[in-house]
Amino acid sequence: MNGVFLETNFLSQNLFTAVRPMTIDSCRNLYPVQLMYAFVSNAVEATVSVKVLQGHFYGKITACTSMVKDSILLHDSSLMPGGGGVMAADHGNDQFVRLLRPVTAVYLHETLIVTILAQVDGTKYNRRTMYFKPAVNGEGEAQITCGVNSLLVKVWYS
């Protein structure tokens, strides 16, 4: 990143996971940006996918780990342009939910926590939380139901 220096002294502190806040000062009349970044030692990459098996999906999907509770926003239907926020399984054809960020790092001795907040009617939301234990070159999946809607969450580790 242009002119941004990230701390690299985490190894000397013997930390397996560390989260640091940082503010990037404004330039050219832009507003300052608050940035959160994490250093994760002995980690694997977790690639997440969410498929609508039945019904539709409108809501939010976040991920965090058992030690780092700061959630990463993976999907927010209200942020999708052009009405692309509602994903529907149409006539038996599964539909993948478009994720803003499908990959995150997870320390091997932590648990990846994926939370889905799904709208089940005009005003009611259901929250479902899934726990995935990382493994080198492993994978995991969980099928959830929110009202009449069914979703399949898969995680691949590399």
Closest by CA position to 50, among listed 9, 99, 88: 99
E strand segments, 25-124: 33-40, 43-54, 56-57, 59-65, 72-76, 87-88, 95-96, 103-107, 112-119
- The per-residue pLDDT for 6 is 45
Contacts 24+ apart (CB under 8 A), 77-80: 77/119
- The per-residue pLDDT for 144 is 94
What phi and psi, each to the nearest 5 degrees, are found at residue 13? -90, 0
pTM of the model: 0.77
Instruction: Report the C-alpha gap between 24 and 27 in whole angstroms.
Output: 9
What phi and psi, each to the nearest 5 degrees, are found at residue 15? -95, 140
Range of the domain at 133: 42-157
Q: Note whether 149 and 78 are same-domain residues.
A: yes
- The per-residue pLDDT for 15 is 52
Q: Note whether 49 and 30 are same-domain residues.
A: no
* Type and span of the H or E element at 129: strand 125-132
Q: Note whether 22 and 81 are same-domain residues.
A: no
User: 19 burial class (0-12, 13-18, 19+ CB within 10 angstroms)?
Assistant: middle
Q: Note whether 123 and 140 are same-domain residues.
A: yes
Q: Note whether 70 and 125 are same-domain residues.
A: yes
Tens of pLDDT along the chain (158 residues) come to 444 444 454 444 555 556 666 666 666 667 776 777 777 888 899 999 999 998 888 899 999 999 888 889 999 988 877 655 666 666 555 588 889 889 999 999 999 999 999 988 778 889 999 999 999 999 999 999 987 789 999 999 99
Q: Note whether 117 and 74 are same-domain residues.
A: yes
Let me know: does 144 contact 151? Beta carbons within 8 Å: yes
Total number of domains in the chain: 2
- The per-residue pLDDT for 44 is 93
